[in-house]
Amino acid sequence: MFTKRRVMKMSNSIAEIKAILTQETVDEHLLLMLKKDERKGVQTALKSYFKRLEKKKLLLKKYEEMQTYERASYNQGYQLIAGIDEVGRGPLAGPVVSAAVILPQNVQLLGINDSKQLSATKRKELYQEIQEKALAIGISIIAPEIIDQVNIYQATKIAMQEAIDKLAIQPDYLLLDAMQLDNGLPQDKIIKGDAKSISIAAASIIAKVARDKIMEDYDKQYPGYGFFKNAGYGTKEHLEGLHLLGITPIHRKTFEPVKSLIKK
């Protein structure tokens, strides 16, 4: 057990105290001792420690809430629940990408959320974690020319079904973000599902990171449109590029203002 003399011997530098407070859990007696330490650096370190604990508590609460649909499905007897989501319905250029993800029942992915709500760094961290922990992942990429042929809604449905078909393990239940598929599988259509279901959020992250990488590669092939930054959405830089450089093979020719530029 730590005594005040022991604490002072071990931690008469702020750096040592900071190191102790980076641990997942810290002895309550030691925390009481540190609260009595009048050094500003110690009190700052303590505040950071308790702030980290509070943040983790909120993440755990959010994670519990995001398992509601999964738990309901497990309670009905389903075991392999796939979350499905797409990325890229709105851009003027590039593919629509869909992902299907089956997670283990007791998986922990703290901080998971709708991919649009996460920083690029956090998305990549969770992408790697999902890749390591998921039972199965399927990804589908539907090219712009297919989108132009069938329309974006139908292209999204095709992408979602293809992502399911590419799963190494076939699911017995589907959780979809605001979409329904006519494939005979029991399913739940959830509005804003990527913020309400860990499985859909996982699919959202996989699809987003995959599509962003595609658009980064296209940025090198077709410079001047800002694809690296805008992922094909109609930003000012992208629109200026369209007027100055013209339409590329990856532009969606049925989307405005691309469609109007073709007619000129």
pLDDT one-digit tens code per residue, 107-151: 989 899 989 889 999 999 999 999 999 999 999 999 999 999 999
Residue 264 confidence (pLDDT): 62
As a whole number of angstroms, the distance between CA 95 and CA 37 comes to 58
In a shared domain, residues 102 and 126:
yes
Q: Can you name the residues that pair with 189 across neighbouring β-strands?
A: 176
Longest dimension (CA), the chain: 83
Q: Does residue 113 form part of some domain?
A: yes
State pLDDT tens for residues 31-57: 888 888 888 888 888 888 878 777 888
* Cβ-based neighbours of 224, under 8 Å, separated by 6 or more: 241, 244, 245
The tally of CA atoms less than 13 A away on the side-chain side of residue 122 is: 13
Residue that finishes a domain, picked among 65, 96, 118: 65
CA proximity to 176, closest of 62, 61, 73? 73
**Residues 104, 31 within the same domain:** no
Question: What residue numbers bound the domain in which 238 lies?
Answer: 217-263
Average pLDDT for the chain: 91
- Is 132 within a domain? yes
| Residues 223 and 107 reside in one and the same domain | no
**Pair (97, 196) in one structural domain:** yes
Q: What are phi and psi of 173, to 5 degrees?
A: -155, 145
Q: Where residue 159 sits, what CATH number does that domain have?
A: 3.30.420.10
Same domain, 203 and 102: yes
How many domains, in total, are found in the chain? 3
What is the arithmetic mean of pLDDT over 182-194?
96
Q: Are residues 59 and 172 in the same domain?
A: no
72 lies in some domain: no
Q: What's the pLDDT at 8?
A: 41
CB within 8 Å of 127: residues ≥ 6 apart: 205, 206, 209
Residues 93 and 21 in one domain: no
In a domain, 222, yes or no: yes
Residue 70 lies in a domain: no
What share of the chain has pLDDT > 90, as a percent?
Answer: 73
Pick the residue with more confidence: 114 or 240? 240
- Is there a domain that residue 73 lies in? no
Query: Do residues 230 and 125 both lie within one domain?
Result: no
Rounded to two decimals, the pTM is 0.82
